[in-house]
Structure formats: structure tokens, C-alpha cells
Amino acid sequence: MTTIKLINLFLILILYSSIALAVPSITIQSEIDLTTHIGVEKIHYINISNPSNETAYDLTFSNLQDFTFTSREIPGNSTINYSFKTNTNSSFTETYVTTLSFLYLENITSTPEVHNITLKTTIPRISPTPITIKKGDTISWYNSHSQPLTITEVTSEIDKWSITISPLNHSEETFNNIKNISYSCEIFGTTYGADIFVESNIIEDLIHNSDYDKTLKINLNSTYAPTTLSLEIFIDSFNLEYNDVGLGVGRITNNGDFTALDIELSMPWATFENNSFNLEKAKSKIINFAISPEIYKTADTNKTYIKELTLSGTNIEVIKKNISIFIKYKKINESETQLTFTIEEVRKMLEEMLKLAGNQTENTTTIIYRDKPVYYNFTEEEISAIDDSLTSLDAKGDRTYNLYKQESDQVKQDIESIKGDSQETRDYVNEKLKEMKDLSKNSTSALDSIAKEFKEQQARDLRSKRIKAIWSWVKWILGVIAIAGIGITFFVIKFKKGKIKDLV
């Protein structure tokens, strides 16, 4: 008996060692960085390897929102490019910690079960037969007769068993040996035979063991889908007086597949009519801007300045265009401009005012800023100083107003310098310029139409000039011919007159 137990223990150890060797060994990277786009389903990939000989089944990632995984399996000694999807609806950066689990095949001991067999009063007398059970299972016989019945093993004489079952009762027998068994039962004087097949209770099944799970950290960055813009500046070179204002026009086109968000334009010396807007895909937008040079010294005139116009947005690459601005020479009386201030100087002045407001405690004074009352404390001396500063700012405002007031005159002068002395052309261009300003709001087609008409007018002017030139040549030639004819006529008359005199 001791020897048999040692042999069984040895077999069990071999079995469990083989089970341990059968577990797949899954390897993945511990951390990955992913970028997805808002409202767009995106597919990502990660490599998962199984260097063992056994297959890993039903790979599953747990505790992940915004992710969609499809269960897969990895055969032994192979690597797969595991795919999964993300779909987000907002902008965020999040770190997820997930667990990768899988199932693998393992030999396990089945749970003992009870199987029922009925000794019937009708044919077939024993049902079911044959029957297959596992080692350790139990069979329960039910005698449906009104008299006792006995079932007896007939397979062998060793460990032979026999069971008597009283009427309308059950009797059970557990089978712990793997073998095929035949038994018989006499019913109404006739012997009926039946078979029992006892199999091993070690079965192969898919199981999960958390000890073999893998942990993965996913850093997810959800952003807006990128798109592509193009920027056209129709005039990128200006020739201005030091206190002049130049008008510029451009066009932004969205050539990408998504809406461009929070578009902004910026450039030193420039103010933009349209700024901070969205632009849908396959759409264009006209932009108007004014250039007001900040020139206050004679030494800063007669120079060309290159200013960088920048186009930026939430989901676009930054676009930069260079604008050339030539400031004509002008002798500036700097004493006349000493009371004007730059934007930076105004900002510093306001900062000083706020500092003073925080330190004074006398004479409460109300300053109205953007229609909202804000209360600060100032002395009379400080109020006088602020009044002088505001007066200077007033002068700056008047100067800016006068600069913009000259806008139309400068536009006309530019057009005259480009188009020549033709009054008809100037009037036509001025009229079309007004139409362009009215139609340029969000209308690319209108701008194209005006440009086309402008070119046609240029062509008509050119044809008119050519016709005038040709007609001048024709008149000159006709004049030469007429003069030559008159000369010949006089010569003939004179010649004939001499002939007549000779004849007379």
C-alpha cells in the first residue's frame, strides 16, 4: 500500500510539473503613448509576443473606457500586431493602467457528478445503457417496480459488487477505478445486461490564472484632428509715408479634411478686421487688414521694414508670410510727437496707475473703464499727472484717427501710380474697389469676379490705346500722302502751264 501511494504521488508531481510547463509566457511593453483625434475613430497597434509553446486564448484588456478591443489568441512561439480602437469626444490627456489577461489549456480534475439509471417496467428495462462516466462519479439506480430488484457486476470475480434495490427506491454506487463494467439484473424472470464505461477524471479546459496577467500603462492624448490651410496675401509690398495707413487683403483656404479651429492672425503694425474664427473644410475666407507704421524719428524713415504675418490655430501648423513696408523719407519734428505713446508705453502707464491705486488711501475717485465703475484712491497731484497722461493719449487717438482718415486718398494715389493718368480707369477702379469692400465679407467668388472684370477693363484700355496709336499713324500717313499729292498736282499744273505758254 505504501508503495502504491508513493507511485501515485510521483505521478501527481509529474502531472503538475507538466501543467506548469504548459502555461503561455506573454510579453508586452509596459508603457505606450497614443494620440487620438476628437470625434474620429482611430486604430492603434501594439506588439504582443508568446515565446512559449502553448497557445494563449481570449486576450482581454480590462478597465479601459474610450477603447474597443477584439478578443484574440496568440499561438505559441509567435508575435501578433494587436489592434484596438479609440474614440473620444473631448480634448484631454489621460493615463490608463490596464490588465492584460488570457486563458490557457490545462489538465484539471473534473467535479464528481451523479448519473441516474432507471430499472423500468417497460422495454427497455434498463435506461440508459450503456453509460459513460468519469472516475469518482456516482450512479444512482431507481427501481420503478413493485418488487425488489438486484443488480450484479459480471465483469470479473475480483471486487465484484451486488446491489439490491427496494421497490420505488434509489440505490447508489461510486466508481473510483477506470475500467469498463458490465452488470445484469433479473426482471420478471429474464436477465437483462448493461454497461458502464468509467473514464479518467483528468480533463483539458481553458482556465485563467491572475498570476500570469500583465500590466500595461497607456498615456492617451486626445486632440482635435489636424487640417491644412493655405494663406494668400494679394499685396505683400507697401510704400507708405511715416504717418500713412496701408490696406491689405488676403485669403485663407482650408485644404484639409477637418474644420480649422480658433484661427488667429497677428503682425506688428497691423490690425485685422477678421480674427479668431473657425473655417470649415473646403471653405475660404477673405481677410482685410490695415498697416499703421509706428515711426516717430527722421532716422527711422527712408527704410524698408520686413514684418512677419503669422497665421495660427488650434489644429493647424503655423503659417508665416513676410510683408515688406518701405517708409518714405520725412523730416519729423520730434518735439511734435513727444506727447504720443506706443502701446507698450500705455501699458506701463496703466501698470503704474494700478500700483498707485493700491498704495493711496485719500480722496476716493471713480474711474470709468469699459462702462464698469472701479474705485481707486488718488491724491490731487496724482490725478493731475493722470490727466496729463490721458491728454497725451487723447492726442495719440486724434493722430490715429487722422491716419485712418487718409486711407481713401492713399488708395486712390496708389491706384493712380499703378494705372497711369487715365481718368476713366481711375473711376472704374474706385468703383470696383468700393464693390470689393462690400462683397469681400466671406465671399471668395465676388473677389474673383472683381479681379476678372478688372483684368477685362485693363484689356479694354490697352485695346483703346492701341487703336488710338494706329489711327494716329493712319492720319500721319494720309497727311503725308495728301501733301505729296498736292505737291505733284502743283508741279503738273506748273508744267502744263509752261507747255501752254510755249504753244501760244
Is 105 a residue whose pLDDT tops 60? yes
Is 157 a residue whose pLDDT tops 80? no
Task: Please state, in angstroms and rounded to a whole number, the distance separating the CA atoms of residues 334 and 394.
Answer: 18
Q: Which CATH architecture has domain 114-200?
A: Sandwich (2.60)
Is 80 a residue whose pLDDT tops 70? yes
DSSP, collapsed to helix, strand or coil, labels residue 251 as strand
CATH of 229-334, one of 1.10.8.10, 3.40.50.10490, 2.60.40.10, 3.40.50.2000: 2.60.40.10
DSSP, collapsed to helix, strand or coil, labels residue 284 as strand
**Which of 84-98, 190-204, 468-482: highest mean pLDDT?**
190-204
- On whether the CB atoms of residues 287 and 437 are closer than 8 A, the answer is no
Q: Which residue has the higher pLDDT, 467 or 100?
A: 100
pLDDT at position 132, please?
Answer: 96
Angstrom distances, CA of residue 500 to CA of 46, 50, 497, 503: 122, 133, 5, 5
Place 333 in a pLDDT band, splitting at 50, 70 and 90: confident
Phi/psi zone of residue 271: left (φ > 0), alpha (ψ -120 to 50 degrees), beta?
Answer: beta
State the average pLDDT over residues 411-417.
Answer: 54
Is 155 a residue whose pLDDT tops 70? yes
Is 455 a residue whose pLDDT tops 80? no
Place 477 in a pLDDT band, splitting at 50, 70 and 90: confident
Is 478 a residue whose pLDDT tops 80? no
Continuous segment of H or E residues that includes residue 296: none
Is 11 a residue whose pLDDT tops 50? no
Could you tell me what percent of the chain has a pLDDT over 70? Answer: 67
pLDDT at position 116, please?
Answer: 96
Note if the pTM is more than 0.75. no
In tens, the pLDDT along 304-314 reads 999 999 999 99
pLDDT at position 91, please?
Answer: 86
Mean pLDDT over the full length of the chain? 78
State the average pLDDT over residues 34-56.
Answer: 90
pLDDT at position 83, please?
Answer: 86
- CATH number for the domain formed by residue range(s) 2-108+207-223: 2.60.40.10
Place 48 in a pLDDT band, splitting at 50, 70 and 90: very high
Q: What is the DSSP letter of 406?
A: T
pLDDT at position 413, please?
Answer: 62
Is 347 a residue whose pLDDT tops 70? no
Task: Please state, in angstroms and rounded to a whole number, the distance separating the CA atoms of residues 330 and 5.
Answer: 115
Is 370 a residue whose pLDDT tops 80? no
**Nine cell digits for residue 272:** 485685422
State the average pLDDT over residues 338-347.
Answer: 57
Angstrom distances, CA of residue 195 to CA of 62, 84, 276: 49, 53, 88
User: Per residue in 425-446, is it b (16+ CB within 10 Å) or e — as a string?
Assistant: beebbeebbeebeebbeebeeb
Instruction: Give rounded-to-5 percent helix, strand, coil for the chain.
Output: 30, 40, 30
Is 20 a residue whose pLDDT tops 50? no
Q: Which residue has the higher pLDDT, 369 or 102?
A: 102
**Which of 43-52, 395-404, 466-475: highest mean pLDDT?**
43-52
Name 405's Cβ contacts closer than 8 Å, sequence gap at least 6. Answer: none
- The residues pairing with 263 across neighbouring beta strands, listed in sequence order, are 277
In tens, the pLDDT along 376-403 reads 455 556 556 655 555 555 555 555 545 5
Place 4 in a pLDDT band, splitting at 50, 70 and 90: very low
Phi/psi zone of residue 62: left (φ > 0), alpha (ψ -120 to 50 degrees), beta?
Answer: beta
In tens, the pLDDT along 356-366 reads 655 544 444 44
Name 442's Cβ contacts closer than 8 Å, sequence gap at least 6. Answer: 285, 286
pLDDT at position 30, please?
Answer: 87
Task: Please state, in angstroms and rounded to a whole number, the distance separating the CA atoms of residues 154 and 183.
Answer: 5
Q: Which residue has the higher pLDDT, 477 or 401?
A: 477
CATH 2.60.40.10 residue ranges for the chain: 2-108+207-223, 229-334
Could you tell me what percent of the chain has a pLDDT over 90? Answer: 39
CATH 2.60.40.420 residue ranges for the chain: 114-200
* Count of residues in the chain: 504
**Which of 117-121, 402-406, 424-428, 483-487: highest mean pLDDT?**
117-121
State the average pLDDT over residues 291-300.
Answer: 91
State the average pLDDT over residues 63-82.
Answer: 85
pLDDT at position 228, please?
Answer: 95
Is 458 a residue whose pLDDT tops 70? no
pLDDT at position 384, please?
Answer: 62
Task: Please state, in angstroms and rounded to a whole number, the distance separating the CA atoms of residues 202 and 161.
Answer: 25
In tens, the pLDDT along 261-290 reads 999 999 999 999 878 899 999 999 999 999
C-alpha angle 113-119-120 in degrees, rounded to nearest 5: 130
pLDDT at position 428, please?
Answer: 58
Three-state SS sequence of 192-213: EEEEEEEECCEEEEEECCHHHC
- On whether the CB atoms of residues 199 and 134 are closer than 8 A, the answer is yes
Angstrom distances, CA of residue 165 to CA of 123, 132, 140: 19, 22, 10
